[in-house]
Structure 1
Amino acid sequence: MTPAARLSAAVEVLADIAARRRPASDALKDWGLSHRFAGSGDRAAIAGLVYDTLRRRASAGWLMGDDNPRGILLGMLRLERGLSAEEISRLCSGERFAPAPLSDAERGRLDAGSLDDAPPHVSGDFPEWLSPSLERLFGAELAAEAAALAKRAPLDLRVNALKSSRELVQAELAHLSAAPTPYSPLGLRIIHGAGEKAPSIQSDPAFLKGEIEIQDEGSQLAAMIAGAGPSDQVIDLCAGGGGKTLALAAAMGNHGQIYATDSDQRRLAPIHARLERAGVRNVQVRTPRGREDAVQDLEGKADLVLVDAPCTGTGTWRRNPDSKWRVRPGSLQVRLKEQAAVLDRAAELVRPGGRIAYITCSMLPEENDDAVAGLRERRPEFSVVAAGEALAAAGLSGLGEAVRLTGHGLQMSPLRTGTDGFYVAMIKREG
C-alpha cells in the first residue's frame, strides 16, 4: 500500500471507531480481516496512524476546526508527525486510493492553525470532565504532564532474575537495541518509531525461555516498592494475568509463599503458563469458584497484601489512547466502590505489623490518595508508610527525586519518570 492509501485506510478505521464506539484494536482487527491484501507492514503503519490520531484527537480537532475522522487525522499529521501543509497536500492527491484533495479551509488551518488559545483539556488531549482531578494532582504542570501522557510509549521488559541477568539478556537482545531502563535494575527498554512494527517479543528465544516479561518500568518499580521479603507470606489480591506476581516471586528468590487470586477467575487464566515459563515455584494460585472467597483461611496472616486495584487506567493512556475517550464519570464511581471494597478485604487479610501495598495505574487523586484516606478513616489501626522510607527500603532512593510525592504515597508519570502513571502507597497495620 502507498502512504496515501494507508491514510485512507486510517480514516476508514477511525470512522468505524466513532460510529460503533468500540476499542481501536477491534476496529483494526476487523479492517485487517476484510483487507487481507494488506501486509503486516501496512497494518502496523495504519495502526500507528490510528493510535497517534486518537492520542491527539482533541488538539487535532481544535487545529482543524473539525473533529470528524478526516479532520483529526489531518491535524495529527501536522501536530504529531510534523508534516507541513504542502507534504500533507501531496498525500491527499485524490488519486487512486488517496484521500480527497485538501479544501481551502483545511489548507488554511494546516498553514496557520494554532493551539495558542486552546484550553488545557484540548492542548493536553484529555476529556474535559477530568480537568478538576488532573489539575488537583498536577497544578501548574498539567499541560506538560498531559502532553507526555499523549506521547507514544516504549516497549519495556523485565528481566527474570530467577533465570538470567540484565547484562546477559541485553546482549541477547542486541538486535533490538534494548537499553537499560533508568530506575529499575531489571528493566530493558526498546523504542520503536511511528508506524514501525513492534518487535515480536513473544517469539524471541529470551521470552520463550522465561528470561523476560513485558512489563512497564513503572509496574516493575511498584512491585519493588511493595518490598516482599524471602520469608514473607504474600497475598496478591488482584493478581489478574500475574505480571506483578511474577515480579514478586523473582524478588523473593522463589522463597516464602505467594497466594495469587482475583475476584474474576477469567483474569487468572494466563497466570499458570506464565508461572511455568518463568520457573516460579513459590506461588499458589487460588482460583475462586462462583462467589467463593478463595483466601478466607488466610485472614490476619499475611505479611504483605498487594492490591493492584481495578482503576480507570488513566496512567496508561500512552499505550491505550482510545481508552481515555471512553472513560465516563459513572465508570469512575464504579471503580471507587471496587477500590474501597478491595482495600477493606486487604485490611482483613494482613497481620498486625504487616503491610498493604496499594497500587493503581491511575492519575486521579480520587482513586489514589482519597482511597487510602478512606481506608484510614474506616480502619484507624492503619497508618501510611512515608514514601521516602518505602523507596529507601526498596533501594530506590534515587527515584524519590523524580516522582511526585502525594499526601499518602507517590505518583510516577511519563513526564517525571518516563513510565506509565503508577501510584503506590504503603500502608501498615499497627501491631
Structure 2
Amino acid sequence: MTPSARVQAAIDCLDAIVHAAREGGAAADTLIARYFQTRRYAGSKDRRAVRELIYAVIRSIGERPATGRSAMLAHARAHDPALLDLFEGGTHGPAPHVEGEPEARPGPAPAWLIERLRRRFGADTDAQLAALLDRAPLDLRVNTLKTTRDAIEIDADPVPLIDTALRVRGDLNVETLPAFHDGLIEVQDAGSQFAAAACEAKPGETVLDLCAGAGGKTLALAATMGGEGRLIAADTDRARLRQLEPRAVRAGAEIETRLLNPGKEMAALGDLQGACDLVLVDAPCSGTGTWRRNPEARWRLTPDRLARFVAEQGRLLKLAAGLVKPGGRIVYVVCSLLPEEGEGVVADFLAQTADVNPLPLRNPLGGAPVSKVVLTPGTQGCDGFFLGGLIRIC
C-alpha cells in the first residue's frame, strides 16, 4: 500500500468506528480486523501502520467526529502535518483537502466529561487525562493455583501494586507460550488483579462474581481461595460466560456458572439468597478507566448513557445485598473514574439500605485499610478503577 492508500484505509475504518460509536456497534479492534479480512493484499506492515494511525487519530480527537475524514484532517493539522500532503486524490488515496472543509476538534475528551473528571482529580486533571490516553502496557497474572511469580521465566518486571502481576517488556504473543497453555499465566491488567485481591476471598467461602463476563476476576478469586470453597460466576451474556469454561479448565479452577436474565436475576440465584460470604459487583460502567485500551469509548458515552449506567449500578448493589449473609461482604468495582459511578453510587446505596455499612479495603499504598480505593494510570500505572467495600451487619 502507498502512504496515501494507508491514510484512506484508516479513514474508511474510522468511518466504521464513528458509526459504531453512534449506533452502539462493535469495538474498534473488531472493526479494523473485519476491514482487513476482506483486503488480503494488505501485508502485515500495512495493517500495523494503518492500525497505529487509526489509534493515534482516536486518541487525539475527544469529541465524536462527524466522519473519519474530518477526524483524520483534524489530527493531521494538530499533530502530523505531513499527512496533509497525502490528501492527493488518485485511485486509492483520499481526495484533496478543500479549504473550509469541516474538521473535527482535537482534544482529550468531551468537555462535559472533562468537567466530571476535574471533580475527581482537581489540579492533576490534565496529567491524569494524558496518562489515560497513553498506550497501555501488557500485564500478566500469575496463577498461584499452579505456580509462583518467581518461577515464571518471561521477559517481564514485577508490578509493585500486586504480587501476582508481571509487566511484559516489549512485544510478546502470550498465547504462544507454554506457560499460557499450561494455565500458569493469564493476561490481566494489574489494577484488575488488585480489585480481585482486595476482595480477600478466603478458602472455604461461598463467593459470587455477579457480573463475571469472561471471568478474569473470577479466575483471580479462585486462586486466592486456593481451590477451596464454592465460587459462582454469573452474567447475562451467554457468549462471554462460555469463554470462562475453557479458561477455568486451563487454570485448574472449579467454577460454577449461572446465566442470568436481566432484571430477573433471582430466578437463577435464589438458592444463594442470604448465603454468600462475598459478592463481587464488577458493574457495567462508562469504562473511563480503560481509555488507554479503548479510546473510542469517549465517542460512545453520553450523559443519558451515563445516567443509565448509574441506575444499573445501584440496582446491582441492591441485588447483591440480598445475596450476602449477615457479616457477608460486598465489593463494588467499576473501571470508571467518574465520581458519580464510584462514591456517588455507594453513598446513594448506603442512604437507602439500613443493614449495610462501609467496609475498609486493602490499601494499594500499603498500611491501614481505606474506605475507598481509586486506581489510575497516572498514579499506579494500571487501568482506572474505583473500589468500594460494604458489609451486611444483620
TM-score, normalised with respect to structure 2 = 0.87
- The alignment partner of 1:295 has SS state of helix
In structure 1, what is the Cα distance between the partners aligned to 2:120 and 2:59?
21
Amino-acid identity (%)? 40
Mean Cα deviation higher: 238-247 or 182-191: 182-191
Structure 1 CA distance, aligned partners of 2:75 and 2:14? 9
1:421 aligns with 2:384: yes
Q: Match of 1:71, as an amino acid?
A: L
1:298-317 pair list within 5 angstroms = 298-317=272-291
Q: CA deviation at 1:51?
A: 1.2
Asked if residue 333 in structure 1 is aligned to residue 307 in structure 2, the reply is yes
Larger mean Cα displacement after TM superposition, 416-425 or 292-301? 292-301
Find the aligned partners of 2:236 and 2:14 in 1 and give their Cα distance: 34
The question of 1:252 aligning with 2:219 is answered: no
Quick check: 1:312–1:362 contact (8 Å CA) kept in 2? yes
The counterpart of 2:259, out of the listed 287, 291, 299, is 287
Give the unaligned 5+ runs of structure 2: none
- The counterpart of 1:149, out of the listed 129, 132, 137, is 132
**1:53 and 2:57 aligned:** yes
Alignment-derived partner of residue 74 in structure 1: 76
| Aligned equivalent of 1:81 | none
Find the residue that maps to 2:327 and give its secondary structure: strand
Q: Give deviations 1:269-319, integer Å, cap 9, x for gaps.
A: 1111111010012x2222347846222111112111111011111111110
Question: What are the residue-to-residue correspondences of 1:29-428 with 2, within 5 Å?
Answer: 29-58=33-62, 68-75=70-77, 77-78=79-80, 85=81, 123=107, 125-169=108-152, 171=153, 173=154, 177-192=155-170, 199-281=172-254, 283-288=255-260, 291=264, 293-386=267-360, 390-391=361-362, 396-398=364-366, 408-428=371-391
2:62 and 2:299 in contact (8 A); partners too: no
Query: What is the CA–CA distance in structure 2 between the aligned matches of 1:270 and 1:423, rounded to whole Å?
Result: 25
Q: Secondary structure at the match of 2:118?
A: helix
How big is the alpha-carbon RMSD for the aligned residues of Structure 1 and Structure 2? 3.1
SS of 2:322's partner is: helix
Contact kept, 8 Å, 1:306 with 1:356, in 2: the verdict is yes
Q: 1:122 to 1:57 in 2, by over 3 A?
A: closer
Contact persistence 2:206–2:277 (CA under 8 A): yes
2:6 aligns to what? 6
- C-alpha distance in 1, partners of 2:261/2:58? 39
More helix by share: 1
- How far apart, CA to CA, are the structure 1 residues paired with 2:277 and 2:17? 46
Secondary structure, aligned partner of 2:366: helix
Q: Relative to structure 2, which stretch is displaced further, 211-220 or 36-45?
A: 36-45
Report if aligned partners of 1:411, 1:422 keep a CA contact under 8 Å in 2.
yes
The superposition leaves residues 18-39 of structure 1 with CA deviations (integer Å, 9 ceiling, x where unpaired) of 3564542343123202321112
- C-alpha deviations, 1:225-248, integer Å up to 9, x for none? 111111221111111111111000
Give the 3 Å change call, closer, same or farther, for CA 264–89 of structure 1 in structure 2.
closer
Q: Point out where structure 1 has 5 or more consecutive residues left out of the alignment.
A: 79-84, 107-120, 193-197
Cα drift, residue 400 of structure 1: 8.4
Q: Is the 8 A contact 1:93 1:99 kept in 2?
A: yes
Distance 2:77 2:187 in 1: 32
Instruction: Report the TM-score when normalising by structure 1.
Output: 0.80
Paired residue for 1:27?
31
Larger mean CA deviation between 338-347 and 125-134 belongs to 125-134
Query: Whole-Å Cα distance in 1 between the matches of residues 136 and 12 of structure 2?
Result: 24
Q: Deviations over 1:367-418 (max 9, x none)?
A: 11011111111112211123xxx225xxx543989xxx7xx51111110111
Q: Distance in 1 between matches of 2:207 and 2:18?
A: 44
In structure 2, how many angstroms separate the alpha carbons of the residues matched to 1:75 and 1:391?
46
Cα distance in 1 for partners of 2:45, 2:182 equals 27
Partners in 2 of 1:276 and 1:385 — Cα distance?
33
Following superposition, the deviation at residue 189 of structure 1 comes to 1.4
Aligned-pair distance for 1:129? 2.0
Return 344-353 or 66-75, whichever deviates more.
66-75
| Alpha-carbon offset, residue 8 of structure 1 | 3.4
